[in-house]
Structure 1
Amino acid sequence: MLQKLKEKLRILKARVKNGNYAYYFWLFPIQQRKIVVSTHYGRGFSDSPKYIVEELLKQKSLDIVWLVKKGEEANLPEGIRGVRYGTKQALKELATAKIWLDNCRQVQSPPKRRGQIYLQTWHSPMRLKKIEKDAEKKLPASYIDRAKRDSKNCDYMLAGSTFSKEMYQNAFWFSGEVLPAGTPRCDILLNNRDSIDEKVRAYFQAGADTKFILYAPTFRKTADTSIYIREFSDLRRAAKKRFGGKWKVLVRLHPNVAYLANDMVYDEYVLNATAYPDIQELLYATDLLITDYSSCMFDMAISGKKSMLYTPDLSEYISKERDLYFKIEELPFPISKTMSELVNKVLQFDEEEYQQELASFNKEIGLFETGTAAKEVAQKIQTFI
């Protein structure tokens, strides 16, 4: 009983600290053409909101505010006002905006006002790991409290598949409208954007003849790199033998453990890509993705590109971290539990079989990505303002 009381007091203090009772901002009028955006709790200009905003920037009369952590202001494009995430000014901007746009549960937010519209893109709409109500027993009580309040505020969510739409309706404590527009961040994977490929290659000083393996594992609660791949020579040689060309590896750790990036081993063929601002651009330029339980596998699959899973800790992950929505062996991605097995999967990769399995899986989940999601959502926002 005492423990439950302490938890309730802790949640109450967090609500006060994060401005959940800051009704005094209601003294300021709502500005009809103001949109306040945040992604990954202030980490910067990225994910689906980035691509929606790029469309909105074509409308010159909008006041677009992006909430960012210190040091990220310089990375915002022209036409966007950067405001420090977590400040009183950020609360005021939210309280006076017509539109809230986010890809995560809002931590800091004033009471939502009548006439304000909150659109949630979510950061991993098609996913393997169970989340929210489906993983309630494995999530902190403080997060569950925040998630329920956030869903109550939310008016719209975006879905790129029937699977995602049903997940939002069943597991998100959400009673608003799910827009079947697709996933804005995935638009670039369905459209020809050579400028992005050139941008990525310039960033990593790689020639046009270089092919990329992107290694993008998810995080564990233990927050260490012991389970990650550390040596990539055999993998690179296998890729060269099977697919031809010159290969380099881009290593990108999950944002939750980005501080561990320096613990990995790099050389001229293995490059640190954790600080690269937009993983979607990396996926666009990548020829082969290696991940474990990250939702980026599904983004890669939308493009029809090669994706493989390396899961040496599968049993432990399921028991200690999260249950899964799919039996991992039934996914369309070749799966390995050892490095030698992964190397053999690369050497034996069957492109025709892979594409058939992708098509079957996309049909199973009811995929309806068209490559126009950002434009459709931007047009929807225009009707609100």
Structure 2
Amino acid sequence: MSKLKKMITLLVKLFIFGCAYLMPKKKNIWVFGAWFGHRYNDNPKAFFEYINKNHKHIEAVWITKDQAIVDALTREGYLAYLESSFSGMLVQFRAEFAFVCQSLHDDLYPACISKKTKVVNLWHGLPLKKIMYDVFGDDVTNKNIVGKLFDFLSPYEQIRNDYLLATSIETQNTLSKAFRLPKSRTLITGFPRNDVFLNTIIAPISTIDKPYQCIYMPTFRGGIGTECDLFAQYGFDVQQIDAILKINNIVIVLRMHPVNKPPQYLIEEIKHSSNISIDSTADIFDSITNYDCMITDYSGGYFDFMLSGKPILFAPFDLEKYKQQERDLYYPYEEVTLKPYAYTWPQLIDNIVAIRQEGLSCEYQKDYNLLKQKFHQPLGLNGKLFSELLYQQLRDI
């Protein structure tokens, strides 16, 4: 895009931003978006559906860049609009609250959200690896006068979060610092997506005659849409592993981070496997309670899974390399994870078989419960869902 076209676009968006400021807000219009406007999942989805079900006086609207999502939600009886459609822009102009899980400028149409609309970042996971300002700090890019002019004309693109969620005092301390928000605006409510662990009858761990279902959920690496290969170089032999799993009646489902994809060779090899598969559904939290065990490396998803009380196995195949090339961690890895670790796939399969056959040691269960207490407030507070706790705090704002 030429500089002239960029300038025209900026002026148009600045005009829209001005309209958003002048437009009176309507109490009880709440807009929701997630994952760069291309997905219907995560905390915004969970809270959106909770509001639609339990607080019908609120006009909850899903905003997206994807017409297929609009069509699917409309068929289900929800309100949903494209972000830059007339209806989508109008509802964003008038919103009392805007809910995102990445950022305002990623998940919604930021020029339509004035500073009179309260932005609540529901975020997308508890951090083991460093995030936000704890990663990029106060890095300042020296720009020429044109670059500075573009920044001046696009105030809606600035990072903005009026409120943020946490799950305990520990995570409130971490997240408020990472986002540079006061603790008073970092609300300890728990994550709406974790309501599934409270309002669902969690399937018991499979007996020996039923498949023991494991989900492998590594953290992201590299950029958006890149392949993530944590398999061949760490001994992932599809035929050999599949045979061991079959003998022990174990199933492994591979679930890559939303910004990554599995290598193509692996997809082809797994097509011929009976006990290994790849999950690419829109929202893992629709099925997360069905699994008997989670496997991860540095993904904060294990903090969520702790609410199930089921085993979590750690496979930090590339721990030192990850810390050097990707992200540093908030805690020494050994302090907030559970042993035994696996550094290759054969070791990991041995650990899965051992837990399947022998169960959890007393020491493991003790450490598990201590971590759960650290990262989650007591469950069942007055018998309320995390979404209800969030709703109540928002009503008091």
Shorter-chain TM-score tier: 0.7 to 0.9
CA separation of 1:282/1:147 partners in 2, compared to 1, >3 Å: closer, same or farther? farther
How many residues align structurally?
Answer: 353
Segment drifting more, 61-70 vs 107-116: 107-116
Show the counterpart of 2:136. 136
Cα displacement (A) at 1:374 = 0.9
Q: Choose from 50, 53, 64 the match for 2:48.
A: 53
TM-score, scaled relative to structure 1: 0.78
Q: Is the 8 A contact 2:254 2:276 kept in 1?
A: yes
1:16 matched to 2:10: yes
Partners in 1 of 2:78 and 2:55 — Cα distance?
A: 12
Partner SS for 2:159:
helix
Partners in 2 of 1:99 and 1:341 — Cα distance?
A: 48
Show the counterpart of 2:275. 269
Partners in 2 of 1:114 and 1:136 — Cα distance?
A: 25
CA separation of 1:17/1:211 partners in 2, compared to 1, >3 Å: closer, same or farther? farther
In the alignment, structure 2 segments of 5+ residues that lack a partner are 144-150, 204-208
CA separation of 1:79/1:209 partners in 2, compared to 1, >3 Å: closer, same or farther? same
Segment drifting more, 302-311 vs 96-105: 302-311
Amino acid at match of 1:171: A
Cα displacement (A) at 1:180 = 1.3
- Measured against aligned partners, the alpha-carbon deviations of 1:208-261 in whole angstroms (never above 9, x if no partner) come to 9433211222221163233236545665666677xx6x3322221111124857
Show the counterpart of 2:147. none
Show the counterpart of 2:327. 322
Amino acid at match of 2:94: T
Partners in 1 of 2:314 and 2:8 — Cα distance?
A: 38
1:374 matched to 2:390: no
RMSD: 3.5
Partners in 2 of 1:279 and 1:260 — Cα distance?
A: 20
1:157 matched to 2:145: no
In the alignment, structure 1 segments of 5+ residues that lack a partner are 1-8, 198-207
1:304 matched to 2:291: no
Partners in 2 of 1:14 and 1:348 — Cα distance?
A: 63
Partners in 2 of 1:177 and 1:33 — Cα distance?
A: 20
Amino acid at match of 1:64: A
1:252 matched to 2:255: yes
1:284 matched to 2:284: no
Partners in 2 of 1:35 and 1:261 — Cα distance?
A: 40
Superposition pairs of residues 1-385 of structure 1, within 5 angstroms: 16=10, 19=13, 22-57=17-52, 58-70=54-66, 71-76=68-73, 78-85=76-83, 90-107=88-105, 108-110=109-111, 112-113=113-114, 115-124=116-125, 126-136=126-136, 149-151=158-160, 154-175=161-182, 177-193=185-201, 209-221=210-222, 223-228=226-231, 230-231=236-237, 246-258=249-261, 264=267, 265-266=269-270, 267-274=273-280, 276-334=281-339, 335-349=341-355, 351=360, 352-365=362-375, 367-370=377-380, 372-382=385-395
Partners in 1 of 2:288 and 2:110 — Cα distance?
A: 32
Partners in 2 of 1:363 and 1:129 — Cα distance?
A: 20
Which is higher, the Rg of structure 1 or of structure 2? 2
TM-score, scaled relative to structure 2: 0.76
CA separation of 1:137/1:312 partners in 2, compared to 1, >3 Å: closer, same or farther? farther
Cα displacement (A) at 1:321 = 0.4
CA separation of 1:263/1:157 partners in 2, compared to 1, >3 Å: closer, same or farther? same
Cα displacement (A) at 1:43 = 2.8
- Measured against aligned partners, the alpha-carbon deviations of 1:131-177 in whole angstroms (never above 9, x if no partner) come to 111111699969xx9999333xx332111122220122212122361
Amino acid at match of 1:272: I
Partners in 2 of 1:320 and 1:251 — Cα distance?
A: 23
